[in-house]
Amino acid sequence: MKIGLEVHVALPTKSKLFCSCSSISDEPNSAICPICMGFPGSKPMLNGAALSQAINVANALNCKISESTSFVRKVYFYPDLPKSYQITQTQGAIGGNGSVELESKRIGIRRIQLEEDPAKIVREENYTLIDFNRSGVPLVEIVTEPDISSEEELREFVFALKSILYYLGIDIEKELKVDLNISVAKERVEIKNVTGLRNLIDAARYEIKRQQELVAKKQKVESETRSYNEKAMRTESSREKESDEEYGFIYDPDLTSYSTKSASVQKPVYAGKIAREYGKKYGGAAKTILELIQFDKRSLELIDYAKAKWPMQNIINVVEVLKKYGHMDIPDEKFTRLIEIAKSGTPVNEQVLKQVIKGAAVETSNVGSTDIDKEIKAMIKANQKLLKEYDKNPKVFNFIIGEVAKKLKANPKDVSARLSSILEKI
């Protein structure tokens, strides 16, 4: 099976790709001007920030970046396209020939290009409205090679891509449009304009199954363009042949060619690779580390700060608690204190967290939970008879807790927690 994607993601620039209108706005048709409305006489001016962000995307996806980049006009008629041509890229694209590393595979990136978003079509029952606020918002299009070979891989790829973009400050969920190419057999089916991550996975799952069933029945898969019906959760034939598309590309003579040299390039972050590395080097499950850092820069910062000094499992536990209770902004010294508490064997819970944040003292045992466990088990062995009376006399518990705590100078609460967990297993 071969799956390839054309992913369109909005770039988070302050202004649009070719004019100074804000790229974020609520009131329909409020962020518009003669340029993004394609008024006769207006001309595009390239937004350097968009170019620089697109270069960073290309760089993070290991692409070869063109020394200079240029634009073309893609002509087609649709009400959402004010000039009836979209300014996009072909040969002069930002970059190409890149890849995304998955755990056990590499997905090729064919091309990265920068283009303008069309306006938004709002369909009402008896009429259609057009919101030009979106017209001219910068999009980066990421075209993959057809290297994805299962739904699981598709999922892994999409999350890896989402993570890489997240670390560049780009939120893939803000606006995501995907053209999905799937061929289970030889014939290629393109599902156009799938919006959002969930729909992307759902559409792929449906289409894979549909094609597999046709193949199993020895029926021919039609090479065609389909669309995804979100409500019915199925792909449907669009009744158009891809070969019918004729855009008549010419280079856009209102724009020149732009050097890619001056863009400041950020070092990309590959969360999957980091998680695997840290797991191997410092302990802890790579999967757990990945879950923490994939879409959370702060988690990665905290882990990086602590990783060489304390056991990874303690760090993970503390970060999980911080995340759960919304204290990721914790200062270093308090973070350190929490890890020390965890390391001492005292579980870091909401109460401990509150105490540490407040700066109050937390009573900790200097003994680890293994010592407590050992002592409890010894007590149980020595007091089998007493324990049989447990039902009649619950104070037996307190006796054991008291004895162990006294002997080990441990926190009775910790002992109590260990005791219940041990008894459960028995």
Partner 1 sequence: MGVISEFRKMGKNGSYHQTLIKDLKRINEKLQFLGALNESLTEGIPFTVKDNICVKGFEARAGSKILGGYVPPFNATAVERMLAKGFGFLGKTQMDEFGFGSFGINTQVQARNPFNPDKVAGGSSSGAAVATAVMKYHVAIAESTGGSISNPAAFCGVLGFTPTYGTVSRYGLIDYANSLDKIGIMGRSGDDIREVFDIIKGADRYDSTCVDTKVKGEGKKKLVVINQLMKGIDEEILSSFDSLLSQLGEMGYKVEHVSIDSITKAIPAYYIISMAEASTNLAKYTGYKYGLQRESFTEKYNAFFTGARAAFGTEAKRRIVLGTFVRSESVKDKYYTKALQFRTAITNKLGQILKDAFIISPTMPITAPDFEQAAKLTPLQTYAMDSLTIPPNLSGLPHISFPCDYKRRMPVGAQLITGHFNDYALLDFVSEWEKRFEYRFKYSLGAI
Among 24, 45, 129, 382, binds partner 1 (CB under 8 A): 45
C-beta of residue 108 within 8 angstroms of C-beta of residue 63: no
Using DSSP, state whether 97 is helix, strand or coil.
strand
Q: How far is the CB of 40 from Zn ion (least distance, A)?
A: 15
Q: How far is the CB of 324 from partner 1 (least distance, A)?
A: 50
Q: How far is the CB of 42 from Zn ion (least distance, A)?
A: 9
C-beta of residue 19 within 8 angstroms of C-beta of residue 35: yes
Pairing, β 120-123 against β 72-75: unpaired
Among 24, 30, 43, 301, binds partner 1 (CB under 8 A): 43
Using DSSP, state whether 71 is helix, strand or coil.
coil
Q: Name beta bridge partners: 47.
A: none
Among 26, 27, 40, 231, binds partner 1 (CB under 8 A): 40
Q: Which is nearer to partner 1, 34 or 402 (CB)?
A: 34
Q: Which is nearer to partner 1, 39 or 390 (CB)?
A: 39
**Helical H segments across 122-188, by residue range:** 151-166
Q: Which is nearer to Zn ion, 21 or 318 (CB)?
A: 21
C-beta of residue 22 within 8 angstroms of C-beta of residue 30: no
278 is a site residue for partner 1 (CB under 8 A) = no
328 is a site residue for partner 1 (CB under 8 A) = no
160 is a site residue for Zn ion (CB under 5 A) = no
326 binds, among Zn ion, partner 1, none (CB under 5 to 8 A by kind): none
Q: Which is nearer to partner 1, 46 or 197 (CB)?
A: 46
Using DSSP, state whether 376 is helix, strand or coil.
helix
Q: Report how far apart, in Å, the C-alpha atoms of 234 and of each of 210, 307, 388 are.
A: 9, 46, 61
Among 47, 59, 62, 73, binds partner 1 (CB under 8 A): 73
Helices and strands per DSSP (H, E), number in the chain: 13, 16
Q: Which is nearer to partner 1, 49 or 422 (CB)?
A: 49
83 is a site residue for partner 1 (CB under 8 A) = yes
36 binds, among partner 1, Zn ion, none (CB under 5 to 8 A by kind): Zn ion
Say which DSSP state 180 is in: E
Q: How far is the CB of 132 from Zn ion (least distance, A)?
A: 8
399 is a site residue for partner 1 (CB under 8 A) = no
The sign of the torsion formed by the CA atoms of 182, 188, 194, 199 equals negative
Using DSSP, state whether 26 is helix, strand or coil.
coil
272 binds, among partner 1, Zn ion, none (CB under 5 to 8 A by kind): none
Show the CA angle centred on residue 265, arms to residues 46 and 165, nearest 5°: 85
255 is a site residue for partner 1 (CB under 8 A) = yes
Contact map string, positions 12 to 51, toward Zn ion, x by CB under 5 A: -------x-x-----------x-xx---------------
C-beta of residue 114 within 8 angstroms of C-beta of residue 54: yes
Q: How far is the CB of 247 from partner 1 (least distance, A)?
A: 8
List, in order, residues 6 or more apart from 384 with CB less than 8 Å away: none
Q: Which is nearer to Zn ion, 35 or 404 (CB)?
A: 35
Stretch of residues binding partner 1 (CB under 8 A), selected from 76-84, 162-170, 313-321, 366-374:
76-84
C-beta of residue 153 within 8 angstroms of C-beta of residue 182: no
Q: Name beta bridge partners: 141.
A: 8, 113
**Amino acid (1-letter code) at residue 269:** V
250 is a site residue for partner 1 (CB under 8 A) = yes
Q: Which residues in 96-155 contact partner 1 (CB under 8 A)?
A: 127
Q: Which is nearer to partner 1, 133 or 199 (CB)?
A: 133
Task: Encode 238-280 in three state secondary structure.
Answer: CCCCHHHCCCCCEECCCCCCEECCCCCCCCCCCHHHHHHHHHH
Residues binding Zn ion: number (CB under 5 A): 5
Q: Name beta bridge partners: 129.
A: 122
Q: Which is nearer to partner 1, 73 or 418 (CB)?
A: 73
Q: Which residues bind Zn ion (CB under 5 A)?
A: 19, 21, 33, 35-36
Q: For binding to partner 1 (CB under 8 A), which residues are involved? A: 34, 37-46, 73, 75, 77-79, 82-85, 127, 246, 248-250, 252-256
